[in-house]
Chains A and B, each alone.
Chain A
């Protein structure tokens, strides 16, 4: 069985679904027997969730949208717009 250090080094890649099949099976076998690494897997999952949540709150303010849309129209030769 792979060591905890080796298992931990694969956790994020595992969550990203980028592990090769054999390495994934080795990790899952380890996780089936190791509570510590299961805890670390859940911790990695939680950090990913926290990161994902920060994509919110970046909506374009209306005036910025107007400026950017005007910029696109100018690039496209549509003048300065209304």
Chain B
């Protein structure tokens, strides 16, 4: 009887996981920044999910729960790998739009801000994302790559809504700063300007 129930539980788990495997892997790739670490993370999350599954009350909407399990596994890993990553300083006064206006890196353009963004293909945007603090990166990825609402992100990260909104604000500011730094340090701006002179 116990075995039958266990077998039924296992079947239910497998049925629940299958439709979400692609999503879990995709999210893991973006959180980790590479596919090898992503596969490890998904396995870790699957193991955690399997152990917690018998106690899961609401099985109607597993995507949010699985995202929570995977994100929690990601944070545990990065804390064990880099305990100092909890220190976080973000210049929230930085405004990329204003900086581009002031520096005017494309003097012959009438769409200077969009020209700036055109410097970044997907690969470069991902490089910039990886430079963000892991907590902020996770919030940003959940919100803008996978469309979770701030309230859902609060449930996933186990944080109040106010904290999530503050994290998203800091994440966006760090992203703006990193975009500018990336373009400046790689001379993307000067080479464009010089090329047009």
Interface size on B, residues (CB 8 A): 47
User: Is B10 a contact of A76 with CB atoms below 8 Å?
Assistant: yes
Q: Does B13 contact A (CB under 8 A)?
A: yes
For A, the interface residue count at a CB cutoff of 8 angstroms equals 36
Q: Which residues of A contact B144 (CB under 8 A)?
A: 48, 51-52
| Contacts between the two chains (Cβ within 8 Å), count | 105
Within the complex, the shortest CB–CB distance from B13 to chain A, in Å, comes to 6
Task: Find chain A residues with CB under 8 A from B140 CB.
Answer: 51
Q: In the complex the two chains form, is B97's CB within 8 Å of A39's CB?
A: yes
* A4 vs B29: C-alpha distance when bound (angstroms): 38
Q: Which of A15-55 contact B (CB under 8 A)?
A: 16, 18, 39-40, 42-43, 46-48, 50-55
Q: Which residues of A contact B179 (CB under 8 A)?
A: 47
Residues of chain A contacted by B146 (CB below 8 angstroms): 55
State whether A50 and B168 are in contact (beta carbons under 8 Å apart), knowing that A68-B39, A77-B10 are contacts in the complex. Answer: no
A68 touches B46 (CB 8 A): yes
Query: Inside 8 A of A68's CB, which chain B residues have their CB?
Result: 21, 25, 39, 42-43, 46
A interface residues, Cβ below 8 angstroms from B: 8, 12-13, 16, 18, 39-40, 42-43, 46-48, 50-61, 64-65, 67-69, 71-73, 75-78
